[in-house]
Structure formats: C-alpha cells, structure tokens
C-alpha cells in the first residue's frame, strides 16, 4: 500500500510540474497596475533573468523612460532622475522562440548586439512584426504578455514626451514603477 501512495505522489508531482501555470508578476506604477504572465517554457533564460530582478526588488523606483505611442513603452533601467541602474550580465537572446511581438506582449530591450539584454523591457502597443526574429536576423525576445491592465499600458502611451539627457521620447512627467512582485500561482 505504501508503494502505491509513493507512486501516486510521484505521478502527481510530475503532472503538476508539466501543467504548472506560468509565473505571473504584478507591476504597480503611478498610473495603475499591470499583471504579466511570463512564458517560462518559451523563454526560460529571459524569464529567469527578469525574475531575478523582480526578486531583488530592482525595478522599484525605475521608470518607463521611453514611450512611443503606436509602438511601445520601455522601462526597467533608469530612475526618476534618469540615473542608469547597475545591472546583471547580459543574457542570451531567445527571440527565435516562436512567440511574436504582438500587442500586449513584453519583450527584452537590447542594443544592436542581439545578446545585450539586461534589465530593460518593453510592452508592445501594437503588433510589431518587424521586431520578430526572421531568418538569420535576431529579433527582440518576447517573454510574456499583459493579462490585466492593458488599459494602464495604453494610458501610459498617451503621456506627453520630450527630450532629456540626450534621449528622446522621455515622459515629461515620470511614469514610475513602484514595485514588481511575483503572484502566487
């Protein structure tokens, strides 16, 4: 009888792991709350990286520092006074994971070097197919989607922007990320 329950427990653990829900995080901003589902299977390196920043409370006090209505909102790297935060090492680009830069998805921001993403991310306001991997060209790695609060994202996209510190498309009034925390699955 004990063997039966041991086998049953093993099957339950395996089944639970296979069908475990994707992790979710709650991003609280001064404009409202956004809940994101992260694609752990499709982008494991990227999700692990993002969650390291979440668990370290890195994003508290950062801003959405680049906003282009009709394109995307970008955040996760600068404070309100436009100081750049120190980050972990860059990660491997996972843009060929089969998930497109569709409206409401969250992707890693990077430089021209495909493997340069650290803490910065962006939320797509529209379907940005030109940001997807194509052939030998790396794209921008999608690692999740907005499951609640897309109206907050759309409202952020409408803030007035200008230039600051050599950067364009910077909100005239800071859009602050107050916290990002994991939600229980």
- What's the gap between Cα 50 and its chain centre? 7
Residue 183 exposure: Cα atoms within 13 Å on the Cβ side: 17
Instruction: State the pLDDT at residue 14.
Output: 45
What burial class does residue 90 get, using C-beta atoms within 10 Å of its C-beta: 0-12 exposed, 13-18 middle, 19+ buried? middle
Residue 3's pLDDT band (cuts 50, 70, 90): low
pLDDT digits (tens, 9 = 90+) for 170-179: 999 999 999 9
DSSP secondary structure letter of residue 137 = B
| Alpha carbons 141 and 93: distance in angstroms, whole number | 6
Report the candidate in 89, 93, 77, 83 with the shortest Cα–Cα distance to residue 132.
93
pLDDT tens figures, 28-85: 999 999 999 999 999 999 999 999 999 999 999 999 999 999 999 999 999 999 999 9
Token reading at 54: 């979440």
What CA dihedral angle connects 155, 150, 26 and 177, to 10 degrees? -20
Instruction: Look up residue 37 and give its two tokens.
Output: 């589902």
For the chain, the residue count is 185
Q: Is 180 helix (H, G, I), strand (E, B) or coil?
A: strand
- Distance of alpha carbon 150 from alpha carbon 26, whole angstroms: 13
pLDDT at 110 over 70: yes
132-143 residue pLDDT tens? 999 999 999 999
Helices within the chain (DSSP H only): 2-18, 44-55, 150-157
pLDDT band at 17 (very low <50, low <70, confident <90, very high): very low
**To the nearest 10°, the Cα dihedral for 132, 164, 50, 159?**
-80
Average pLDDT, the chain: 92
- What is the pTM for the complete model shown? 0.89
Evaluate if residue 152 carries a pLDDT over 60. yes
CB hemisphere CA count around 104 (13 angstroms): 12
Q: Is the pLDDT of residue 10 over 60?
A: no
């Amino acid at each position: 009888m004990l063997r039966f329950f041991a086998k049953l427990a093993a099957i339950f653990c395996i089944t639970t792991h296979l069908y475990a829900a994707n992790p979710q995080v709650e991003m609280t901003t001064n404009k409202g709350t956004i809940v994101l589902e992260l694609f752990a299977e499709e982008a494991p390196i990227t999700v692990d990286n993002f969650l390291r920043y979440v668990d370290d409370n890195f994003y508290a006090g950062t801003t959405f520092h680049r906003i282009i209505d009709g394109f995307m909102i970008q955040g996760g790297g600068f404070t309100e006074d436009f100081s750049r935060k120190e980050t972990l090492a860059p990660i491997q680009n996972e843009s060929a994971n089969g998930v497109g830069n569709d409206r409401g998805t969250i992707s890693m921001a990077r430089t021209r070097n495909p493997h340069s993403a650290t803490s910065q991310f962006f939320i797509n306001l529209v379907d940005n197919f030109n940001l997807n991997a194509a052939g030998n060209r790396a794209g921008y790695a999608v690692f999740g989607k907005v499951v609640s609060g897309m109206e907050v994202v759309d409202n952020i996209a409408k803030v007035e922007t200008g230039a600051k510190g050599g950067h364009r498309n910077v909100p005239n009034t800071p859009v602050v990320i107050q916290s990002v925390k994991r939600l229980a699955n």
